[in-house]
Amino acid sequence: MTAKLRIMPLGGLGEVGKNMTIVEYGRNIIVIDAGMMFPESDMLGVDYIIPDWDYLRDKKDSVRAILITHGHLDHIGALTHFLQEFEAPVYATRLTRGLIEVRLKRERMLEQTALHTYAAGEAITIGPFTIEPYHVCHSIPDSVGLGITTPAGLIVHSGDFKFDDTPVDGWPTDRAKLAEFSRRGVLVLLSDSTNADRPGSTPSEAVLDDAFHQIMCEAPGRLIIATFSSLISRVQQVVNVAQRHNRKIAIAGRSMVENSRMARELGYLHIPADILVDLDKVKRLPPQQVVIMATGSQGEPMAVLNRLATNSHRLLSIQEGDTVLLSSHTIPGNEETTYGVINRLFKRGADVYYGDQAQAHVSGHASQEELKMLINLLRPRFLVPIHGELRHLVQHAKLAHELGIAKRDIAVVENGYPLTFDGEWMRIGKRVPGDYVFVDGSLVGEVGPLVMRQRDGLAQSGFVTAVAPYDRHAGKTVGQPRIITRGFVYAPNAEELLAQAGDLVRATASVEQGTAPGKVEAKIEQALSSFFYRETRRRPVVTVALIEV
Ligand SMILES: [Zn+2]
Ligand SMILES: [Zn+2]
């Protein structure tokens, strides 16, 4: 039996975030990216979500390597979790590796991890695969797409990309390499769909220079710019413009400080020493000479922007004349928290610029004309739209179809559908079950749909607990039950309701002699639930504890 090529998306297809794709040939597997995703507002208490890689658990010995396309969290955020289960070596470009090291160090996992650097233009061999990373423009330097030569043909994985002719680092997407792949013949293209519903081309990062220039002219005092800590090129742009305005730069927020220090050391971020000031020194400067780069553009509770909004930062607080600029696009699901932070910043007297009106963000992803250009350059036999919600994947497929790729040669699939390539055919297999893996504090995967439903119930209507001593032989409770509530009613104002509930507990508990408390508890829970719903039209979570005496 000859081996078949199989591509298996485990994350990022049917959603934005937690990207992960598997390429499998015989007993050889390479994993592309290991990202995380931010929770939506109805995922109560969840810190972030990682891919479900259960598919790989009984194939552990086959995992040869994990290849990272770039340093954004939706591509590296799950790596520490992945490496706790799999011992594969990690390949990344220099800057991406630096960003990964920062995270591994924090988890004390740096020593035991085999990290390798690869660079655009190189070729490395892993098992039956030859991997050729090629440079792509994105909103972080040192991003690559991957050409992967397999015994069944050439795969091109676009990574996250756009065709920017004036990128901040002066290094455009490698069209020559794409043309070379095309000449060799591309079996399948996996291509970024994030902006597949946007017509035209994505503007160059260069247009942001004007926006930063404008706001530095107009801001009467300190300027606080919030963005992702991984947007190294955004930091560079701010530095460049600040220099022209004689403003100094301070960096706030642990991840931003660590990432910029690392990017400076590696030569990806250039900040002249006389421009950079420590955060605790900005007080001594005239406000109009200060720019502070900060974390928290998504309203994250522990990041700098929220600390400023709640006046709980150790060194900084909002003062009269401060201008805050959110240089980012709010990730769907984060709107409420972000707007909450913005409102509180206004309340403290800052002027805040955000969203489209700020014009301080451009996307790092290709729009429709660029997606078409990539397809035209590569002329792949098959196309798999990746990185996007279903609507993005479908839009991407429509574009490809317009360019003459037959519908049966385009796989619009969500996570978990194995694609096998067998000579002239691409087959879409049966979906491998997968789920969200929630990370909540140090709990990984323990919090599932059931716990989530319970949290939802608690958040909606609170809880009621009834505790009563119980005499099994008499078949009844002893004395008055205690009724405890949280988040349901204000107990002092609901005495009558709770007294009635207590009576109900006693009445329901009077059953035949010798009945086990467990059985009685379930009965009382049901009776209480219906009682509260009848009386209040609310459904608090009800628990009953009968303690045998
Ligand atoms: Zn990215
Ligand atoms: Zn991404």
Which ranges in 245-352 belong to alpha helices (H)?
254-265, 304-309, 335-347
Alpha carbon of 74 to ligand 1 centroid (Å): 7
- Residue-wise pLDDT for 78-97, tens only, equals 999 999 999 999 999 999 99
pLDDT at 372: 98
Alpha-carbon span 416 to 20, nearest angstrom = 11
Ligand nearest to the CA of 387: 2
- Residue-wise pLDDT for 429-484, tens only, equals 999 988 889 898 888 888 888 888 888 888 888 999 999 999 988 888 888 899 99
Alpha carbon of 160 to ligand 2 centroid (Å): 6
pLDDT at 423 over 80: no
Alpha carbon of 531 to ligand 1 centroid (Å): 52
Alpha-carbon span 142 to 139, nearest angstrom = 10
Alpha carbon of 46 to ligand 2 centroid (Å): 20
Alpha carbon of 430 to ligand 2 centroid (Å): 26
Ligand nearest to the CA of 19: 2
- Tokens in use for 110? 């740096």
Supply the pTM of this predicted model.
0.87
Alpha carbon of 193 to ligand 1 centroid (Å): 12
Which pairs with CB-CB distance under 8 Å and at least 24 residues apart come from 403-412?
403/372, 403/375, 403/376, 405/375, 405/380, 409/381, 409/382, 409/383, 410/382, 410/383, 410/384, 410/385, 411/382, 411/383, 411/384, 412/385
pLDDT at 386: 98
SS3 170: coil
User: Pairing between strand 115-117 and 90-92?
Assistant: parallel
Amino acid at site 534: R
Q: How confident is the model at residue 424 (pLDDT cuts 50, 70, 90)?
A: confident
Please, are residues 69 and 159 in contact by the beta-carbon 8 Å criterion?
A: yes
pLDDT at 177: 98
- Nearest Cα to Cα of residue 188 among 424, 389, 481, 348: 424
Alpha-carbon span 32 to 23, nearest angstrom = 8
Phi first, then psi: what are they for 531, rounded to 5°? -60, -50
pLDDT at 1 over 60: no
- Tokens in use for 353? 């610029």
Q: How confident is the model at residue 2 (pLDDT cuts 50, 70, 90)?
A: low
pLDDT at 189 over 90: yes
SS3 342: helix
pLDDT at 333 over 80: no
Please, are residues 12 and 19 in contact by the beta-carbon 8 Å criterion?
A: yes
For residue 214, give Cα distances in angstroms to 219, 294, 360, 361.
Answer: 9, 19, 10, 14
Instruction: Name residue, tokens 């979790």.
Output: 81
- Report the pLDDT averaged over residues 62-79: 96
DSSP state of 403: T
Alpha carbon of 80 to ligand 2 centroid (Å): 18
User: What count of other Cβ atoms lies within 10 Å of the Cβ of residue 92?
Assistant: 27
Instruction: Give the angle 385-413-411 at the CA atoms, nearest 5°.
Output: 60
Please, are residues 165 and 292 in contact by the beta-carbon 8 Å criterion?
A: no
Q: How confident is the model at residue 515 (pLDDT cuts 50, 70, 90)?
A: confident
DSSP state of 492: G
Ligand nearest to the CA of 363: 1
Say which residue, 43 or 260, is predicted with more confidence: 260
Alpha-carbon span 365 to 154, nearest angstrom = 23
